[in-house]
Structure 1
């Protein structure tokens, strides 16, 4: 048995509807399965999704306040009023700022921009920067990707005499700021049909309204901010990202060319994953570690050399950010392990002095990934006596609501069900941890502590082709609201599996199902190679990719998880060197069993724990998952009893034997006849003294001669006294098979033939039969 790391929830799409989509839409079956699994029920719906057009872009004037915004901005430009674009320090904020700056500059505005410093100003509007803007002659502030929660700061700006337009997409509170105009797709009284725009999407709408036409040249900026901010890639966001990716692939922007250069990315292959995993982290890095303005400058410049210099700086900052994240993550994991309080429903709360607050959210995410518990990571400021940090959660623990229960000791917090930020007095951290752990026990169950993976595309091996995988691009971009599919292949054979990589921590496999085969790679899953027994059937989930090598394209599964419900037999017979097979076994889950005391003595120098003599183990209540059979029993019934003792999920068969009875065999009737005739002629024979000469004369081994002597003794044909055989005078006619030694040797040879020398398939069948006997209902036995 191989236990999956996550709980699999497999969707089974309606096969008839899949066939209809496949035929009517002329798409591969794989694509049809994805669409049906995602809830598309009609050809019309599916066609609209597959062939999204500019017609799906909504009118920007459906956003409340847009007409007033256009009028106020054009008045400001006409009256030569200075305008400030006030952005945010992440990728969404940086691209939002760029879109708004470029739009206003193209209209001839006197415009500057400011972005808060995470460490000085924190998130959102800043009175310090608003005062600076006022001192620099700003008359109109336009916020992008922030502002909806800056109540006091916007009041401050108004009190200074500046007008404020808020454009934002974050969750609005019960009270809105006193801005002159608010542009937000998610306000309660809005008529806008799509509330899930990113901050840059809202900025794009403003640009559309101000320019009185769709600003197509900004699609790539909208794509970057939309993907990086993890908003829903449905409706018009899907179109924005599709068009933005097409623009980036043409490398019309010096910024994109520079980012691709420092990221080692082929421009023509840019997709949503490039944005999410290559470009986004580099753009975000500057704001995490210091001033985010260079990110805006990268997208504003038209000079290639300047763009490359900035991109290199962003790349260096990202490397610095990665090193900081690794250091803090390692320290956080050490604190978690030392505390040892992650059993059952619980919340991880860790903190330390000197931890960079700009990366604590990333560290919290890594802790959730490792332990699958809600995690809060705090940076301690001993001078100010405060703890400030970020939280990430799991399904079932609404982080914002759980934090709200502690506002008496956490005065400043904000966020969502799955992520939040907070500041609290240092003296309350321990109380905070205690309370959250108590809350976790109330709302989380053990079942919720196992991560769930939703699998919407179970596939047959023959459906997986390079053409089918390439066709999946028809469904891109993938992201929030339309996640990349997780594919499942069930009950297939592993034709081969081997560890790869310098540390041997990855695995490469060939999967087979009938005549179909598929290559598979599992990065960081090298242990699977030791967990798969011959003939075992496994199920896999993962992503499908195309591996191109020497001009040849082949489909490939990138393994995310694997499982098997079958018990497994591992054949380690004949491997004398213990250090060759012992590392393959998870010792803490295994019990090593010997049927002979000499075997325990032989192995206890190599195996330091969980080694048992059969007679001792059978009286204990040890329920390890795996068992290693170190040697052979004297009787098959002992092994049967051991197999009934526990439902082992893995059996490692070693069957160490110093001497093999099977190859020694049973002496023939003619051998027994000759030996008896030999003894009859002499009446007595000094066996101990002359066995070597007899062995040389007959060509029989000394073991064989001793065995036949023992059989004669047990049948009362001879007596033995100090190595001297004496033929008895009165002999009863008795068959050789009546001798206990003869019976035991016969059984031992049969046992060795079944267990020690049988081919793997026959050995597996023998164990299968024993296990089948265990499951027979009592009334049938």
Structure 2
């Protein structure tokens, strides 16, 4: 057996029938299934999903107050008023700011932008910033990616004579700000799609202001949309689809420089945004004022763009170093203090930790320990700690933290992530109460990461045409994840690759079909999966191109083996070097004289009979002289992994049996000579015939048993007139035959034959001799 590292969730229904759907689209059956699972049930929906079009974007006039907001901007332009775009410090916020500023400038507006400092001002509008905007002569403020909760700040702006237009996408509060206009999908009953990112709302405003879809802004829109992890459905999918095309050929100097810093050339995918571009933009706001990121996106000077991109790259490198250091300190705190190590929810705090990266650190801790994690930076001046939290799927952070909300000074978030401020004296109590809740809700299985599986497929059904059709399911993201497939097959040609040999290359075989596989970080499995073992694997199906040849390939995400496994170390020199320090390992010897100094503790078979649970790793160091003994053992002991370490011995009992002709020749020799001095004659005979001494000894033992010879004055002499007896009547001879059968089966049989015989013993009834004694 081999347990999966993740919890597998099969999201499809084997009984779902897409044939009843009005499909006329010519696609592979599995593509129809995948579309159906994503809520696509008609040809029109399927066509739009597979071939997105900008014409399918919802009209911007469906957003409440957008006409009023645009008229206010046009009035400001006519009167020469100054407009301030008030943004946010993350990737969605800075791209939203850039989109709004460009649209306003194209419209002829005089505008500037402002990003609050994460550390000194926090998220969203603040009173001092609005007062400063008034002092600098701004008459209109437009918020992007924030503002929907700024009730007090908007009231202050109104008192100052400032008009505020809010464009936002965050959750609505009980009371809305008294703004001049609010552009928000969730405030607009007629707007069909409620899940736009902040940059998506800004883009809608820009579209309405400019009177047409500004395609040149889609590169920015795709970055903010992917970075903010909104569902890639409906409009978001269309915006990112075209935004990625725009990003591929963008002439925007800032993005060209940012792509170069990210080592991106032509094609840019949503993964490139998520793992390369967005982290660099986010790094600026995590460490300092995020205005630099907006400067980079807006500059039209290539030299300035290169300089700013270089600075952003330096900040990202610094951010990575800070995350690494804090993560290291956090892990040391957890592993050396039982208060942290034994709690079901990790809550750690330290003075001096950078608040801007604590969410990333919390994510790393969740990956390592598979527990919800809250990471806090202590603020000694206020006797508080401020930080971020991340969770596992089985523990809803928002719901459970709200049960103890009185412990927080400030708290906000959702099921998987949150931010909070808490008094220092409440930290230990928070740990205790959240851990108690987690103990009730989270099982050991729940703590595993979750893999959602879209379909089970057979190797023979995986074709290049199918994979090319599935490529149209991109862009992937929240709400439209990469398809994960489940296969049952037999791996072969498994080998470790990579500089550190920590990756796995293999093939999957099912009857006559075969597919290549790659498992990054799975190199250790080469010694964990036995030959000819059927495995279940889950992973992504991709097209791999090498030397111009394209082939399907599985990118492994997890693997499991449901049956017990046999590992064969028979007749292997230094086999004990392959033994790892695995937990729950037992080393069993059937013979008392078996002694292997590399194995500190050797058990007898009977010592395992009282075990309640299956043995995880069972090593058989030798085999018994009678198969019945091993058969009984296999009935009484269950195991997940069996390793046979049988070695050839020098014991005469386990060497080839003499032939009848050899017995006849030796007996005639004794009759002819009339005596045999064993000490003198046996070595000579061994040399003459090429026999081993133990073979000669065995033959004389059989002669003694049958009464053919006897001892006389320390020499062997033939018995006068012995009774006629067949060789098969010798008990020693019969035992030798049985021993040879045991040896042939257990030591020299093929892997497949040995596994088959062991399986038969495990699955069959107890041998009759064993049952007769009631054992």
2-structure distance, mates of 1:775, 1:251 = 74
Q: Report the Cα distance in structure 2 between the residues aligned to 1:302 and 1:235, rounded to whole angstroms.
A: 32
2:282 to 281, 284, 309: 284
Q: Please report the TM-score for the alignment, with normalisation by the length of structure 2.
A: 0.93
Question: Once structures 1 and 2 are overlaid, which stretch shifts more, 497-506 or 436-445?
Answer: 436-445
Give the superposition deviation at 1:743. Answer: 2.8
**Which of 466, 469, 473 is equivalent to 1:468?**
466
Alignment of 1:206-605 (within 5 A): 206-267=205-266, 269-339=267-337, 346-489=344-487, 491-578=488-575, 580-583=577-580, 587-599=582-594, 601-602=595-596, 604=597
Relative to structure 1, is the Cα distance of residues 578 and 382 closer, same or farther in structure 2, using a 3 angstrom cutoff? farther
Within 1, Cα distance between the matches of 2:641 and 2:665? 49
8 Å contact 1:89–1:117 — kept in the other structure? yes
1:366 is paired with a residue whose SS is: helix
Cα pair 1:507 1:525 within 8 Å, conserved: yes
Matched, 1:691 2:691: no
Following TM superposition, by how much is the alpha carbon of 1:435 offset from its aligned partner in structure 2, in angstroms? 0.8
Q: How does 1:723-762 map to 2 (within 5 A)?
A: 724-725=715-716, 731-762=722-753
Task: Name the CA shift for 1:338/1:730 in 2 (closer, same or farther; >3 Å).
Answer: farther
1:385/1:731 CA distance change after superposition, 3 Å: farther
Deviations 1:730-766 (A, max 9, x none): 8554444444432332222111111111122211221
- Contact kept in structure 1, 2:615 and 2:638, CA below 8 Å: no
Matches within 5 A, 1:104-143: 104-143=104-143
Please show how residues 539-688 of structure 1 align to structure 2 within 5 Å. 539-578=536-575, 580-583=577-580, 587-599=582-594, 601-602=595-596, 604=597, 606-608=598-600, 611-618=602-609, 623-659=614-650, 664-680=655-671, 685-688=676-679
Q: Deviations over 1:694-737 (max 9, x none)?
A: 32344322111111222233445555699654656685544444
Instruction: Tell me if the contact between 1:81 and 1:139 (Cα under 8 Å) persists in the aligned partners.
Output: yes
Q: Are 1:498 and 1:508, in contact at CA under 8 Å, matched by a contact in 2?
A: yes
1:55 and 2:55 matched:
yes
Shift of the 532–749 alpha-carbon distance from structure 1 to 2, 3 Å rule, reads same
C-alpha distance in 1 between matches for 2:418 and 2:136: 34
State the secondary structure of the residue aligned to 1:346. Answer: coil
For the residue of structure 1 that corresponds to 2:737, the secondary structure is helix
Q: How far did 1:195 drift?
A: 0.9
Q: Secondary structure at the match of 2:202?
A: helix
Q: Distance in 1 between matches of 2:668 and 2:607?
A: 46
CA distance in 1, matches of 2:607, 2:461: 53
Give the corresponding residue for 1:771: 762
Please give the secondary structure, in 2, of the residue aligned with 1:545: strand
Total equivalences in the alignment? 771
Q: Is the 1:342–1:348 Cα contact (8 Å) retained in structure 2? A: yes
Of 176-185 and 217-226, deviating more is: 176-185
Alpha-carbon displacement from aligned partner over 1:127-153 (angstroms, at most 9, x marks no partner): 332233222222222111011223333
The CA deviation at 1:224 is: 0.9
C-alpha distance in 1 between matches for 2:465 and 2:448: 35
C-alpha distance in 1 between matches for 2:426 and 2:442: 23
Question: Who is 1:192 aligned against?
Answer: 191
| CA gap 1:445/1:261 in 2 versus in 1, 3 angstroms | same
Pairing 1:174-189 to 2, within 5 Å after superposition: 174-187=174-187
SS class of match (2:76): helix
Structure 2 unaligned residues grouped into runs of 5+: none
**What displacement does 1:773 show?**
0.9
Q: Distance in 2 between matches of 1:572 and 1:722?
A: 48
The C-alpha deviation readout for 1:152-196, integer Å capped at 9, x for no partner, is 333343444422222111111212233332221113x63322110
Which whole-Å CA distance do the structure 2 matches of 1:626 and 1:443 have between them?
31
Please tell me whether the aligned partners of residues 609 and 637 of structure 2 are also in contact (alpha carbons under 8 angstroms).
no
Q: Distance in 1 between matches of 2:69 and 2:591?
A: 89
Whole-Å separation in 2 of the counterparts to 1:461 and 1:335:
47
Q: 1:82 matched to which residue of 2?
A: 82
Aligned equivalents of 1:646, 1:252: Cα separation in 2: 69
1:200 Cα deviation from its structure 2 partner = 0.6
SS at match of 2:505: strand
SS of 2:347 mapped into structure 1: strand
Q: Does structure 2 retain, via aligned residues, the 8 Å contact 1:387–1:425?
A: yes
Cα separation, 2, equivalents of 1:769 and 1:345: 46
Classify the secondary structure of the residue corresponding to 1:612: coil
Aligned position for 2:165: 165
Structure 1 distance, partners of 2:254, 2:609, is: 71
Pair 1:144-2:127 in alignment: no
Deviation string 1:635-671 (CA, Å, 9 cap, x unpaired) is: 2122212222222222212202332758831112233
Alignment RMSD: 2.9
Question: Do 2:628 and 2:767's aligned partners in 1 also have CA atoms closer than 8 Å?
Answer: no
**What's the CA shift for 1:78?**
2.4
Aligned partners of 1:642, 1:160: CA distance in 2, in Å? 88
Tell me: CA distance 1:143–1:23, structure 2 relative to 1, closer, same or farther (3 Å). Answer: closer
The unaligned stretches of length 5 or more in structure 1 are: none
Instruction: Determine helix, strand or coil for the equivalent of 1:411.
Output: strand
Deviation of the 1:614 alpha carbon: 2.8
- Distance in 2 of aligned mates of 1:493 and 1:620: 32
